[in-house]
Amino acid sequence: MESIYNKYIEQLESIRGNNLLRSLKTVSSRNGTFIVFNNKKCLNLSSNDYLGLATNTELAREFYSGLARDNIIEEYGLGASSSRLLCGNINLYEKLEQRICRIYESEAALVFNSGYHANIGIIPALAEKGDLILSDSLNHASIVDGIRLSKAAYKIYRHNDVNHLAGILEKYRNRYERAIIVTESVFSMDGDLSDLKKLVCVKTKFNALLYVDEAHSAGVYGENGAGLCVQNNVSKQVDIILGTFGKALASHGAYAVTNNIIKDVLVNKMRSLLYTTALPPVVLSWNLFIMGKMQSLQNHRKRLQDLSEQFRNSLQDKNLHFIGKSHIIPIVTYDNKTALALAGKLFDKGFLTFPIRWPTVPSGNSRIRITLSSNINFDDIKDIARIISCEAKTKQDH
């Protein structure tokens, strides 16, 4: 009898043969912008710590001294030990959701355990049989999984092609009770931006809901760090804004900015909210603390924007193929082998980057994805364009 593991072994060999094999990476320490990986100290260019808050020791000391004053540990303990629907909904949740509402000037907010939990729960809770979901072709895997978990019909529109979206709605909208448009504001793998104003026009014309995932925008855009919807003055027209604490806000969890009707629906129907243990009290307390700092971090946001533009210009000067208009800057290599080799070369030079390959990005669109942080200096990364250019030239010569 064949081993029940044979099929898995064959699959792994196929993955390895296509230069797609993945493994977990062990990090032994982090210090500011640097990280120790495989016993080598490198500049970390693979983090989502866009404002440099996750390794800000001064901020951490301020937070923990506050915990001692407020007796958070004595009052709540370390673990929630229950779901929010039972006894895990401590009053820190209410305080945090009220603070989010003030920042966004919104009617309601709801906090979740992660952005992935949010997307796989919100979409099936709001869209069911007889409804239509319209999703950008480059939406994050968590959005794709949320669509798959729903019983709604769905259509994929071409990336950032609002005219294609409108054409699909023109043809199909009257066949469905509800329509929900789902997009990211800053796309996680391409680093480009949605045209939110045009999306609002389409959603209004076709009486649809608009759901904008601001995972890579929250904290980074807008004077108060509330993201692109607020910066573009469309937040009141967006039905659900999703933000995460786990990236620029240096914590864990996610939140939806919405209205009371949708919040009540989610509290009653969202399985990934109903059937998971609540966030630990110390995490909620840190989230409250860091949200209170958002308005004072405009200099961090400005530095990040300036650094990103300077770095993109250095790549352009070397005629390198990159995409995106944000702090996420993918350098496209197309094939997996080149992406792996380039990541290795950069690692040898002290830069931690990783190859991004299928299925994270479409087949044939492999890349090195560089993510910047406001506490990085341009002098630290000015040699990257030259290194990549030399590597490309070496490959051509061979």
Pick the CATH number of 81-279 from 2.60.40.10, 1.20.1090.10, 3.40.640.10, 2.40.50.140: 3.40.640.10
Angle formed by the axes of helices 57-70 and 281-293, nearest 10°: 120
The burial of 105, by beta-carbon neighbours within 10 Å (0-12 exposed, 13-18 middle, 19 or more buried), is given as exposed
Torsion of CA 12, 16, 22, 25, to 10 degrees: 110
What's residue 398's pLDDT?
45
Of 285, 163, 293, the C-alpha closest to 225 is: 293
Domains 6-55+297-397 and 81-279 are alike in CATH topology: no
Phi, psi angle pair for 59, to nearest 5°: -65, -40
What's residue 395's pLDDT?
56
Max Cα distance, the chain (Å): 66
What span, in angstroms and rounded, lies between the C-alpha atoms of 301 and 305? 6
Query: pLDDT tens digits for the chain (398 residues)?
Result: 578 899 999 999 999 998 888 888 888 788 889 999 888 899 999 999 999 999 999 999 999 887 766 667 667 777 888 999 999 999 999 999 999 999 999 999 999 999 999 999 999 999 999 999 999 999 999 999 999 999 999 999 999 999 999 999 999 999 999 999 999 999 999 999 999 999 999 999 999 999 999 999 999 999 899 999 999 999 999 999 999 999 999 999 999 999 999 999 999 999 999 999 999 999 999 999 999 999 899 999 999 999 999 999 999 999 998 999 999 999 988 888 888 899 999 999 999 998 888 888 888 888 999 999 999 999 999 999 999 988 765 555 54
Q: Scan for tokens 């440099």, then name that residue.
A: 52
- List all residues 6 or more positions away from 73 whose beta carbon is below 8 Å from its beta carbon: 67, 281, 282
Residue ranges of domains in the chain: 6-55+297-397, 81-279
What span, in angstroms and rounded, lies between the C-alpha atoms of 33 and 169? 45
Are the C-beta atoms of residues 370 and 329 closer than 8 Å to each other?
yes
Residue 213: strand pairing partners: 184, 242
Looking at the domain covering 6-55+297-397, what would its CATH class be?
Answer: alpha beta
The burial of 305, by beta-carbon neighbours within 10 Å (0-12 exposed, 13-18 middle, 19 or more buried), is given as middle
